[in-house]
Amino acid sequence: MSRLLIEGLPGQSNIEGARFEGARLQPCRKASQSEGALAPEGSSFVSGHDFSRAEGAPNREGALAPEGAEGASRRARSTAEGAIRRAPSTRVPHICPPLADVGEHEPHPAREDDPKLKEHCGVVAIHGHPDASRQAYLALYALQHRGQESAGIATADGTHLSNIKGMGLVSEIFTDEVLARLKGDMAIGHTRYSTTGDSALLNAQPIRVESTKGLIAIAHNGNLVNLGNLRIHLERKGAFFQTTSDSEIIVQLIAHSQATTLVDAIADSLRQVDGAFSIVMMTRDRVFAARDPHGFRPLSMGRIANPSGPDTIVFASETCAFDLLRAKYERDVLPGELVMVSADGVTSRQYAQPNQTSCIFEHVYFARPDSMIYGRWVQESREQMGRQLARESHAPADLVVPVPDSGVTAAIGYAAESGVPFRFGLIRNHYVGRTFIEPEQRVRDFGVKLKLNPVRNLLEGRRIILIDDSIIRGTTSRKIVRMVRQAGAKEVHLRISCPPTISPCFYGVDTPRKSELIAANNTVEEIRQFIEADSLAYLSLDGLQKACDGGEGNHYCVACYTGDYPTQWVDVEDILPAKDTALV
């Protein structure tokens, strides 16, 4: 089973491979552990378990300290075995191994076998359900497409706040045995694909921390673009970080806020961060949900009716999660809004002036077609993208074929508008894991051939219009075009249901550097030659915006297509004009 990180559970765990977080994490020197694994100081390994011995306490300045850590001066002595002694300093070392410089905000390079843009994560929150952990599990299961690296669920029952998280898929981590240990009628959950911070278990969410303002768990979707400056400022004030994730910045700001109430402290902290964040937070007795003033990432609120008592309130990154829970969609959390749910009901405040520039790529690729994002059904937007693409750049053809799964809905719209028959000429293998064993003799384009297989009797001798949602580096598009042509297609015309991607995203999307984006450095004709298609056309920016406009009044961020960023700070190195690169 997955290796788990467990926090706050009363008693001891009998889950094999579990480890209790509660002390300062250091590279493990135990011979029984793999090199580079993490283990708490002052802990012991018993039958595959790792039990922290120390109890947690906030430090004297109100900054956050990991459970099992004592934030005291040099003169203070440790009162618990394995506790941390901190000398007075204006800067506290990070409590994680030097896996990455957390001050940098650099996109991760995409892997050759997985070139699509990746969403940061999905978040959920449940308030007022007797089996909150299982409800969170189901919601995360529906949001698995938003992140596959790690997942976690935290629960609270008014007294305790417990947290379990691990690396892998939701179904791999949360077995019945694990879920049974998460008690309480409140829960928050997270499924992650990292864009900042290392992808290690240490940075899995929710993050659970103790402060003078109480025990808090947080799950965050998005990226903070003023991460480096905030972190340095907080460390100089005595902040003690448990992770390299930018999500912890928000909790540290709450702990250091001068506001007297938790709600005011949360609002104060959110006003200090810049960038994209849709967050859910939980204390022992309350749940909070908030979006940044731009509303970059989606966050919706729903309700499960309870005839015999108060209704269950749920939050999720996408409304498709509500369907599994039988929850009714009520509304989106507004940009710049902070919502609190307690035993007294739902309250809300506008902590910042809204200035909506929501990510349009949610409609292009990220979100599931059965979700309503920013008040508009994704299915409708994608079908309209395909229709508009047919109006702008149709080519004579015999079949419209989608690149599954992301190109399917746009291809349906293209076929309907053009009158060319729609067929599944490429079949996707949905059971390919994240890793696989290649044959000893490498097969050309093996990764793509493993995931997609052409239907030769449909493609042979025909003119094919191939529909996909985007081209990032161009390498996978070339492999797919070759595959269709090798299956006997007479012509292959590639149509893309969004404009050329010319700039990286800094708001929660894992994109390559500008120098690695094929459309940032080459003309459409040069790209066509590289991918070996008979013709290539993208949907225009105006066409994309029309397709995503159903009268909802949304304003979208299109920085990945224009380079015009809606926030004041970005990584200048990544938005400077890229040098010419050869298409090899």
User: Which residue's entry shows tokens 């103790």?
Assistant: 210
Contact 135, 188 (CB under 8 A): no
Contact 50, 40 (CB under 8 A): yes
The tokens describing 247, both together, are: 């999500």
Query: How many CB atoms are located within 10 Å of the residue 532 CB?
Result: 14
Which residues in the chain show pLDDT less than 70? Answer: 1-2, 11-120, 194-199, 432-445, 512, 569-584
Adjacent-strand bridge partners of 316: 124, 300
Task: Give the active site residue among 28, 96, 121, 498.
Answer: 121
CATH topology of domain 376-430+444-575: Rossmann fold (3.40.50)
Closest CA to 23 of 60, 51, 61: 51
Backbone CA torsion sign across 552, 553, 554, 559: positive
Rounded distance between C-alpha atoms, residue 547 and residue 545, angstroms: 5
Angle between helices 247-256 and 262-272 in degrees, nearest 10:
130
Rounded distance between C-alpha atoms, residue 319 and residue 305, angstroms: 16
Rounded distance between C-alpha atoms, residue 360 and residue 560, angstroms: 10
DSSP per-residue codes, 372-393? EETTEEHHHHHHHHHHHHHHHH
- Domain locations in the chain as residue ranges: 4-26+33-73+86-94+117-356, 376-430+444-575
Adjacent-strand bridge partners of 537: 495
Query: Looking at this protein, which amino acid is placed at residue 110?
Result: A
The tokens describing 301, both together, are: 């609120």
Q: What is the pTM of this model?
A: 0.79
Give, as one character, the DSSP assignment of residue 251.
H
The tokens describing 359, both together, are: 């990510």
SS3 163: strand
Query: How many CB atoms are located within 10 Å of the residue 350 CB?
Result: 13
Rounded distance between C-alpha atoms, residue 60 and residue 76, angstroms: 11
The H or E element spanning position 227 is helix 227-236
Dump pLDDT digits (tens) for 495-527.
Answer: 999 999 999 988 877 776 888 899 999 999 999
Reply yes or no on domain 4-26+33-73+86-94+117-356 having CATH 3.60.20.10: yes
Contact 551, 377 (CB under 8 A): no
- Bond from prior residue into 206 cis (ω within 30 degrees of 0): yes
Closest CA to 304 of 127, 184, 158: 127
Catalytic residue flag (residue 121): yes
Strand positions, DSSP E, 362-485: 372-373, 376-377, 399-402, 426-428, 452-454, 463-468
Rounded distance between C-alpha atoms, residue 583 and residue 323, angstroms: 45
User: Which residue's entry shows tokens 């540290």?
Assistant: 252
Rounded distance between C-alpha atoms, residue 119 and residue 146, angstroms: 5
Angle between helices 475-486 and 524-531 in degrees, nearest 10:
50
